[in-house]
Structure 1
Amino acid sequence: MERLTLLGVKVDTLSIGELNHLVSGAINNGENILVANHNLHSIYLYHRDDKMKVFYQKADYIHIDGMPLVIWGRLLGHPLKPDQRVTYVDWIHPLMALAESKSFRVFYLGGKPGVAEQAVVILRSHYPNLQIQTHHGYFMEEEENKAVLNKIRDFQPNILMVGMGMPKQEHWVVDNLEKVSANVILTAGACFDYIAGVVPTPPRWMGRVGLEWLYRLLSEPRRLAKRYLVEPWALLPLAINDISKKLRL
């Protein structure tokens, strides 16, 4: 694993196999780790949201979740490989297979009421012995948050997946990190929405060639137009800075 700086943020060159190895190691050794990820959207938020900065400072590992970052890193001369771009759409099944085989307990927090339960039914059709519980991510009051924390505590998960979308999920982790005892905390975005079929899953070949964003934009234009058509332009000064550093070497 190598840690790189791209567009002003730190990322680790991790594949799915290496991430699963880190997850297993943390659980088997009784450790506690926070695994984050970066794509262009998170980098845009990072440079505008102080709590996002705090979240990434607390993260032990930060994998790449976006082929544009891999392509950008390669243009700068880093030997990044396509499998070092890891999205949860690709990682979820290897991760759940690992959890079932090792009897790791998984808790998923996120999605609209009922969506995560639909995803669990589908996952259990593949992994019948998977130990998993869920709770939706639509709660606002402190008392509701306490109830969620109590549910997580009672289940004692080895893996806690927080899938509320950026930056809500990162804010929740920062606010509650000291109150949860999972060995591994992952910020998983809309992972279970894809499994449940609530959000259409892009063809995997589009992800491998860096066009997954286009599929998502066409699927949800009103929600994602700003993210994919406006935000990347705000990263241009960071890209110029990367190029300037490269030329000075």
Structure 2
Amino acid sequence: MFGQLVDLVKPEEVLHHVQDAVAEGRKSVVANHNLHGLYLLQKHPEMRAFYEMAELIEVDSTPMIWFSRALGLHSRGFHRCTYLDWRDHFWSVANRKAWRIMAVGGAPGVGEEAARRLGARYPKTEIRTRHGFFDARAGSADNAEVVAEIQAFQPHILFVGMGMPRQELWTLAVFDALPDCVILSVGAAFDYEAGTQNPAPRWMGRAGIEWAYRLVQDPRRLFHRYCIEPWTLAPLAIRDLRAARRRMSGKTAARGADFGAPPTRNFPRGT
């Protein structure tokens, strides 16, 4: 969709992928696409390399699921998944398997509060956090310090929540230096866990109106994202719809040709 590959997966399938990668000790990136990310790809084409190395790309947008149905794809509402959709399942698994989890991002103090709350509920996990207010440029002392901390901790899971496109570009830049772990770009996940941001009720996500809840919460920051940016994707949407129409017309013509052809039968020799 919109020139990008996505995986139509359910939240439990995301967790299966994460568990398999951890069990195999494999470094794996789990990314996500939403309308904001698609808009940013037009401004930051270097993000494409991040998505190309991802093993799994979630669809973090109910409108994208609706659009995929218009393209004739076999998508359903449960294919929309993001951190808030699988968080409880994730932390239950992490606790049972005693995973080491590190989160990079958020304002100073947010990660610590999130870790305190999560640690009380999931005491078998080991959680370490690092705020996202550091010099993320390649070669900076701050950047080297953060990477060294991750290397020393050797997490099973690395959450990167520094907002788009910073989290994707940072992951891409330091990927080779990171230990073998599952890396997930999660935006404001730990802000939700710390209580500094209120997540929308999950029924709003399923109904495709979570954006409205977030817009009311923070209109100054999110007005452009939700009310302006989607319109820039119109040319890509039109191209996809035309391609889908040609594809469907081709299938209809092929079915018609098959229906009109005389049936063939293979009789045994001698009959």
Q: Quick check: which has more Rg, 1 or 2?
A: 2
Residue 230 (structure 1) aligned to one of 215, 228, 231 = 228
The residue aligned with 1:149 is 147
The alpha-carbon deviation at position 143 of structure 1 amounts to 0.6
Give the letter for the 2:119 counterpart. Answer: R
1:9 aligns with 2:4: yes
Question: TM-score, with normalisation over the residues of structure 1?
Answer: 0.95
Residue 213 (structure 2) aligned to one of 215, 222, 237 = 215
The residue aligned with 2:161 is 163
The residue aligned with 2:64 is 69
CA distance in 1, matches of 2:165, 2:12: 27
> Mind listing any 5+ residue stretches in structure 1 that lack a counterpart?
1-5
The residue aligned with 2:191 is 193
Which is further off, 181-190 or 74-83? Answer: 74-83
CA distance in 2, matches of 1:109, 1:204: 25
Root-mean-square deviation (Å): 1.1
CA distance in 2, matches of 1:105, 1:40: 32
SS of the residue corresponding to residue 164 of structure 2 reads coil
The residue aligned with 2:29 is 34
Give the letter for the 2:173 counterpart. Answer: D
Q: Please say if residues 58 and 82 of structure 2, whose CA atoms lie closer than 8 Å, have aligned partners that are also in contact.
A: no
Following TM superposition, the consecutive aligned residue runs of length 4 or more in structure 1 with deviations greater than 3 angstroms are none
CA distance in 1, matches of 2:194, 2:77: 26
CA distance in 1, matches of 2:209, 2:173: 34
- Deviations 1:187-228 (CA, angstroms, capped at 9, x unpaired): 010111111111121111110100000000110001001100
The residue aligned with 1:202 is 200
CA distance in 2, matches of 1:128, 1:34: 26
Q: Please say if residues 7 and 239 of structure 1, whose CA atoms lie closer than 8 Å, have aligned partners that are also in contact.
A: yes
Q: Please say if residues 26 and 180 of structure 2, whose CA atoms lie closer than 8 Å, have aligned partners that are also in contact.
A: no
The residue aligned with 1:3 is none
CA distance in 2, matches of 1:18, 1:90: 12
Question: TM-score, with normalisation over the residues of structure 2?
Answer: 0.87
Q: Please say if residues 55 and 174 of structure 1, whose CA atoms lie closer than 8 Å, have aligned partners that are also in contact.
A: yes
1:79 aligns with 2:74: yes
The alpha-carbon deviation at position 93 of structure 1 amounts to 2.1
CA distance in 2, matches of 1:47, 1:13: 23
Residue 182 (structure 1) aligned to one of 180, 183, 199 = 180
SS of the residue corresponding to residue 124 of structure 2 reads coil
Q: How does 1:17-166 map to 2 (within 5 A)?
A: 17-140=12-135, 142-166=140-164
Give the letter for the 1:60 counterpart. Answer: E
The alpha-carbon deviation at position 248 of structure 1 amounts to 0.7
- Deviations 1:1-42 (CA, angstroms, capped at 9, x unpaired): xxxxx1111100111111111111111112111111000000
> Mind listing any 5+ residue stretches in structure 2 that lack a counterpart?
248-271
SS of the residue corresponding to residue 223 of structure 2 reads helix
The alpha-carbon deviation at position 90 of structure 1 amounts to 2.1
The structure that is strand-richer by fraction is: 1
Q: Please say if residues 159 and 182 of structure 1, whose CA atoms lie closer than 8 Å, have aligned partners that are also in contact.
A: no
Which is further off, 49-58 or 211-220? Answer: 49-58
CA distance in 2, matches of 1:191, 1:219: 16
